[in-house]
Structure 1
Amino acid sequence: MFSLLNRVFTSFSPPVAEKKKDAIRFGVLGAAKITPMALITPAISHPEVIVQAIAARDRSRAEAFARKHGIPEVRDSYEEILEDPNIDAVFIPLPNALHYEWAVRSVRAGKHVLLEKPSTDNETEATILFNLPELSLSQPNPPVLLEACHSRFHPALHKFLTFVHPPDVVHVHTDSMVPWWFVGKDNLEYNYKLGGGSIMALGTYNFAVLRMIFGSEPEECLTCTTEVLGDGIHDQCDYTFRAQFRFATGIGEATSTLKGPLWWKPSEARVTHREVVIPDKTLPDTQEKVRTRQVTLHGFMHAVLWHRIDVQDSYVIRSIVSQKPVKKWVESSSHKAYTYEDAGDAFAGLPGEDWWMSYRYQLEAFVDRIKGRKTPYWVSGDDSIKQMRMVDMAYSKNGLGLRPTSSFR
């Protein structure tokens, strides 16, 4: 219990790192509530990150935010941040419908961009954004653009994937939620014009995990049911959804809700593999050994708080001819990975502390890319485009319609 409390406390109150002379200076577009967790707190312990400036639609709001979080400079507009030669990178936590425009503007201004998920409102916007000529590797020192789907960077998810064999996956269930009191109906999540909806707010986490588990893209959205407030105002924004996707080897399920029960239930990804034959030279030629595996990751969204990876292998020794079982048994194990050292040999030697949030691991990767260093994991532009394609598939299937496309070009 002490280690848990110490880990969580340090996550939110990390040690202050001495900043290097060539630290990356961030400008923040908007005084969003996600910014402290997504950037400000992780930056405290990163020696190569300084949160330098912020702008918001309301300067007084930006000033109050800057005072509270120790940001030294406040600007009158987003444009002022983009025009500042001393700002190296921008963090964009704006409403979803504004991600595309301000990411494009930032890239064209030569800034590196850490862009809150989902990257855009739909695949059309993502395709334009991630194919901007300014991002081409043929350009000298092109900006780094990353969709900030933070959970994908935590070692727990990568440890979990070491137990998954994508060609054998036949079914995946994922779920995520926030309690009903967390999001009010006047929040952005219920505003269609600003890209609201539970699929946009939470479902993108589920979709990303599904794609990583199957190691491929969904071929079809089979079903997608939603629940809406039905008040004539918020009818295009789902507060709950349940979707089924067909992948090449099996079915992936995703469910999320903005109206969960009072207490927070950890997110979950549960993977079922097909039955496979396990070579065993100790068996007679008339028998075979088969295994069916189920792997569950509890807490894939905020793994630093708590997570557990459960592996359950069900074995059968049976007659090859009659298929009659001779022996059955189950082997179970549980695992955790708070650092990349815990995640497996492929990640040995990589930096990390058990108190690092997924946001801190994400920031590490972002900085490493800017500095030209190798990263253990990355979300490519092509990946982000495919992610929005999956979101569009769900909204097309449920009849609520795609989130609106910006007219900005």
Structure 2
Amino acid sequence: MIGRLWGCFNPPTPPKSSDAIRFGVLGAASIAPYSLFIPAKSHPEVIIQAISARDRSKAEAYAKSHGIPEVKDTYQDILNDPNIDAVFIPLPNSLHFEWAVRAIRAGKHVLLEKPSVSSSAEAEILFNLPELDQPNGPVLLEAFHNRFYPAWALFNSLVDPADVEHVESRSMLPWWSTSKDAIYFNYNLAGGTILAMGTYNFAALRMLFGQSPDECTSCDVKSYTEGIHDKCDYDFKATFRFPNGGTGVASSTLVGETVMKPSWVTVKTREAVIPNDDLPAGQQQYQKRELTLQGLIHGAFWHRIDIKEINEIRTKHGQVVKQWEKTTSRKAYTWKEAGGEFSHLPGEAHWMSFRHQLEQFVNKVKGRKTQHWVEREDSIAQMKMIDMAYEKSGLGPRPTSSFK
């Protein structure tokens, strides 16, 4: 583990290719080193070329700290630069829509921090821009990095959506890691826990059910009620009803316990008949499964997939003859460990989910096959689910940008 984590933050640095994708970064965000700069070090086809921030002096200090060669005066200067191929947008949520639209109209590929936008209305416009359908047009990806990690792909492959009865997912940040004055809790910047961390949990529910929910049946929130923090949830628990009759529960907090706990998701399946030719006539084996992925968001640090099989043998009259449980565990820090259809995919043990995501982004830009992707329809459905929860909570959806 120590060796893997050292490699995550200190990856090898191969020479850059002559046709490397040159990124411009909008904003001096604290997430950018993890989500792009470190992954880019080990990718021979990615160069971090330029950055801009609202404060030029801050941008210069940030660029010097991270070895970025150019500092631009404005975000628009980055979009106007013909030497910039792609932009990374880790700005506050409320600015995602405007600058993603501007970048796409400028012909730039866009890696867009999640949540992609602030509302489903914005998502419908952004992901249906005509430029995205042009031959060799810009590539747009919502950066749901954890969905590119081998552990998630393996876990998802173990679940048949038709069998899913209940899914529950939880995430958290400790109270000391956030501040009330942070953008998380600024309503005008589309703040709130549902968008900050809960979006991971919502996506897990949709992926495992294989469809979007019909209804948010409840959304209990704890929120601020004053000033710019008004209507910003810092803790929530939402329940959804899915088309197959199953239920999904998502919860998160940004003021959690002192000790950081891994995010997780648990799937419970409907009871199924298990063929068993060794049983006497009139008896049948039945099975339910509970599958849990511990470490849903940052699987490279630590994760574990637990698979519990709950078995019963019953007579045709319903009498229980035998009961037993079997639990096995798996991990997949690499595609080889994931096995099966994934075993041939490229990647190293030190690749974080961000590095896997960057691999696929570059493949898409270069016109190569992608093994995993977040489709445009997926990102729209995600924002509809978020709006659904905010409406049920009574806080209402986040403000929609006035940018046209």
TM superposition score normalised by structure 1: 0.97
User: In the alignment, does 2:161 pair up with 1:166?
Assistant: yes
Pick the aligned partner of 2:116 from 96, 115, 119.
Answer: 119
User: In the alignment, does 2:371 pair up with 1:376?
Assistant: yes
**Pairwise CA distance, 1:248:** 2.0
Pick the aligned partner of 1:57 from 33, 39, 54.
Answer: 54
User: In the alignment, does 2:283 pair up with 1:287?
Assistant: yes
User: In the alignment, does 2:132 pair up with 1:135?
Assistant: yes
**Pairwise CA distance, 1:392:** 0.2
Aligned to 2:103: 106
Aligned to 2:199: 204
Aligned to 1:9: 6
Which amino acid in 2 is paired with 1:111? K
Aligned to 1:326: 321
Aligned to 2:302: 306
User: In the alignment, does 2:356 pair up with 1:361?
Assistant: yes
Q: Name stretches of at least 5 consecutive residues in structure 2 with no aligned partner.
A: none
* Aligned mates of 1:305, 1:372 — CA distance in 2: 31
For 1:3-402, list aligned pairs within 5 A. Answer: 4-136=1-133, 139-249=134-244, 250-320=246-316, 322-402=317-397
| Maintained 8 Å contact 1:130/1:381 | yes
Which amino acid in 1 is paired with 2:342? F
| Maintained 8 Å contact 2:293/2:303 | yes
Superposed CA deviations along residues 254-311 of structure 1, whole A, max 9, x for unmatched, are 0000001111100010111111001122223311111110000001100000000000
Superposed CA deviations along residues 196-243 of structure 1, whole A, max 9, x for unmatched, are 000010010001111111111111000001101344541210000100
* Aligned mates of 2:297, 2:194 — CA distance in 1: 15
* Aligned mates of 1:237, 1:33 — CA distance in 2: 21
* Aligned mates of 2:310, 2:364 — CA distance in 1: 42
* Aligned mates of 2:230, 2:31 — CA distance in 1: 25
| Maintained 8 Å contact 2:188/2:228 | no
Which amino acid in 2 is paired with 1:141? N
Please give the secondary structure, in 1, of the residue aligned with 2:261. Answer: coil
**Aligned residues with identical type, % of pairs:** 58
| Count of residue pairs the alignment pairs up | 403
Which amino acid in 2 is paired with 1:309? I
| Maintained 8 Å contact 2:187/2:228 | no
Superposed CA deviations along residues 84-134 of structure 1, whole A, max 9, x for unmatched, are 111000000000000000000000000000000000000000000000000
**Pairwise CA distance, 1:339:** 1.2
* Aligned mates of 1:127, 1:34 — CA distance in 2: 26
Please give the secondary structure, in 1, of the residue aligned with 2:268. Answer: strand
| Maintained 8 Å contact 1:92/1:114 | yes
**Pairwise CA distance, 1:165:** 1.7
* Aligned mates of 2:340, 2:374 — CA distance in 1: 21
Please give the secondary structure, in 1, of the residue aligned with 2:233. Answer: coil
TM superposition score normalised by structure 2: 0.98
**Pairwise CA distance, 1:9:** 1.3
Deviates more, 1:369-378 or 1:280-289: 280-289
Please give the secondary structure, in 1, of the residue aligned with 2:229. Answer: coil
Superposed CA deviations along residues 159-182 of structure 1, whole A, max 9, x for unmatched, are 111221211111111000001011
Deviates more, 1:305-314 or 1:152-161: 152-161
The alignment yields a C-alpha RMSD, in angstroms, of 0.9
| Maintained 8 Å contact 1:244/1:251 | yes
| Maintained 8 Å contact 1:159/1:337 | yes
**Pairwise CA distance, 1:58:** 0.8
| Maintained 8 Å contact 1:159/1:342 | no
Which amino acid in 2 is paired with 1:296? T
Q: Name stretches of at least 5 consecutive residues in structure 1 with no aligned partner.
A: none
| Maintained 8 Å contact 2:236/2:251 | yes
| Maintained 8 Å contact 1:53/1:73 | yes
| Maintained 8 Å contact 1:274/1:292 | yes
* Aligned mates of 1:20, 1:232 — CA distance in 2: 50
| Maintained 8 Å contact 1:55/1:81 | yes
* Aligned mates of 2:157, 2:318 — CA distance in 1: 30
